[in-house]
Amino acid sequence: MDRLTKPTIKALALVLLAIVVYYWKVLFTSQFSLLTGSEAASQAYAWLHYWVASIRGGTLPLWDPYTFSGHPFAGEMQTQAFHPLHLLFLLVPMGANGEVLARAFEYWFVFSHFLGACFMFALARELGLGRFPAAASGLCFSLGNFLAISSWPHFWEAGIWLPLVLLFLLRAVRAEDRRRLAGNAVLSGLALGLSILAGGLQIAMAGAVVVVTAGVFAGFTRTGEARWTRAALAVGVTAVAGFAAGAVQLFASMEYSRVALRWITGGPAQPASQAIPYAYLGDYLWPQGIIGMLVPHAFGGNLGPGEVWAVPTYIGVLPVLAAAIGIWKCWGQPWVRYLTGVAVVAFVYSLGPFSLLHGALYALIPWLSLAREADRFMFLASFALAILAGFGIEALLVEPSTAAEWSGLRRVLGWGVAAYGVAMAVAATLGQPAIPQVWFSIVLILASAGLLLFVTYGHRGVAVKVLMVALVLFDLSAFFPSAVNRIEAARKNANELEKLQSLSGAAEFLKSQPGLFRVQVVAEAEHRRHVPGAVDDGDRRDDGEGLRRSSGTSRSVERALRGEAGFSDRAGCGGVSGLRVEGVRELERVSAGVDRARDRGGFGGAGGRAQGGVGERAVGGGPGTGEPGCGRRGGVPRV
């Protein structure tokens, strides 16, 4: 890792500047938000608010009394009940009504990505890269792949630690004395433990894969009689330290998984600790998914079943081309070969049932099936490619070379540009349907190829470096629009945070009642028919007990109950964006038989997607009438 010399500080300042410019939407305006999506508001933000409010109240949030008649908050990893960095939110003032400011969440998102870029910068420097190539690797890693998905904090808060896991492991296997070996291995384990505490199960597994494979690779490539001993000690100490650091979350989740049910897409509910049948491991890449590394919207973005759309492998066109150059020019370096192998194996594994490797590892490695989404391990491929891109940029800009050495690359890029030009001309002539994102990718490929050709003729000045960074930022910002325009969201009735806040009246009423209760909400779809382009939350689903509930609205009430007590009732008991508490039809209070209802499915599986959260009957009449406010009539809120 670099000492904080003046050139290093300057390089990190430029990284910070690039990230600040990249996230201008949330840093410099109030017109955009990261919290308009359903999972961002109803999970990420609501969990964070409940955690901060509990800690401020002097209570460690181990139990959530507001959903499923109560369930362990700490049992689900992605709630991040033990993540120590969230203590920083205690230094930030709360809102006027006692809520965690949405702005604080957005600033934390940006700061976390700056940390990830700095950690990758440090790893690249440890691998021998110059400051500019290391900074480029940091930006590609932090701003690309699924670290860019704002609605899943347990991924990006866990993923940023992977560079430090490998960095300190490398230092451990290179250490000449056992004291330094142990110290660096402990630091590697602490970084791995932080990824566990951040709630990213797949990320923690990916970190464990890196620890074991990098240790074995070091044993093969290092010299000296004690190389295997050093490698084994480094891996062992890292594993013990990582497990110890994350033990409080691991033990809570293991205990919870014994009694929790996991609902599997397309399959039956089963104990969360039980291996998922191979037939239900449904999220994986199709073979054409590799094209998504250059054209993320190829094939209409249909690169695999399940949530493949939400797990992008994309780090930008120029970085992928630079990674190919790095593999070509720096193959003699051992860790380039290791990273290339990681990228290839991660892609092969992510193919799911198309891959023999996937099936073999499913059968041989315990607990791997619990991370059922094979495509999530493409994170390792993106991680490796970001570092390899730094090696490619190093070869292009730093290492001495002559124009003749790049003649082969110029021929490849020249023919590639010509082929794309012909393809564009043919498509335009035939009048093929225009897919703007695909055409934009083609433009980016042409621009990246042109810039690389320019560099191969000896142009390596500051202007070229600025163009490289600008092209990467321009590229990634087009395909990772994390911040959503509030006006557009309101027009489509799709601002989930505002919906959540609008239900504060109902939540306050229910919290004021003694005893246990369960809630059934049926929302009318008709009240939003006048909203052009509105997304209909009023879709009703049978809960298996002969009752019906609104999938969207009931989930919002559950999350509002979790911790939105501080929100003011800005519209009485009414709502915003067309979602009104007038849609509430029935509220049920249950003081007996809660355990029986819970046994039918009151505990959720991974991700908290439990069913059976509604009781057996509905009590009370229809909605009351009267002035806005939360009065009582027949056991239901009067609105």
- What is the pLDDT confidence band of residue 225, given thresholds at 50, 70 and 90? confident
The pLDDT assigned to 615 comes to: 30
- Exposed, middle or buried, 270 (CB in 10 Å: 0-12/13-18/19+)? middle
pLDDT tens, residue by residue, 442-490 = 888 889 988 998 898 888 889 999 999 999 999 998 888 778 999 998 8
CA distance from start to end of the chain: 61
CA-to-CA dists, residue 392 to 15, 410, 451, 541, angstroms: 19, 15, 14, 53
Which residues does 615 contact at the CB level (< 8 Å), separation at least 6?
A: 518, 520, 545, 588, 590, 593, 597
- What is the pLDDT confidence band of residue 438, given thresholds at 50, 70 and 90? confident
pLDDT tens, residue by residue, 323-351 = 999 999 999 999 999 999 999 999 999 99
The pLDDT assigned to 483 comes to: 87
Structure tokens at 264: 């599997």
Q: What is the mean pLDDT of residues 61-70?
A: 83
In this structure, are residues 61 and 50 in contact, taking their beta carbons and an 8 Å threshold?
yes
Q: Is the pLDDT of residue 543 over 50?
A: no
3-state DSSP assignment of residue 323: helix
The closest alpha carbon to 119, from 134, 105, 130, belongs to: 134
The pLDDT assigned to 522 comes to: 56
Q: Is the pLDDT of residue 622 over 60?
A: no
CA-to-CA dists, residue 76 to 495, 604, 625, angstroms: 26, 9, 40
Q: Is the pLDDT of residue 578 over 80?
A: no
In this structure, are residues 538 and 550 in contact, taking their beta carbons and an 8 Å threshold?
yes
3-state DSSP assignment of residue 203: helix
Q: What is the mean pLDDT of residues 556-563?
A: 49
> Cβ of 206: how many Cβ atoms within 10 Å?
25
The pLDDT assigned to 579 comes to: 33
pLDDT tens, residue by residue, 380-406 = 999 999 999 999 999 999 876 666 778
Q: Is the pLDDT of residue 107 over 70?
A: yes
| Greater model confidence, 295 or 532 | 295
pTM of the prediction? 0.81
The closest alpha carbon to 439, from 454, 423, 450, belongs to: 423
Beta partners for 518? 588
Structure tokens at 31: 């017109």
Dihedral angle over CA of 323, 327, 329, 330, nearest 10: 110
The pLDDT assigned to 621 comes to: 31
Sign of CA dihedral 411, 415, 420, 425: positive
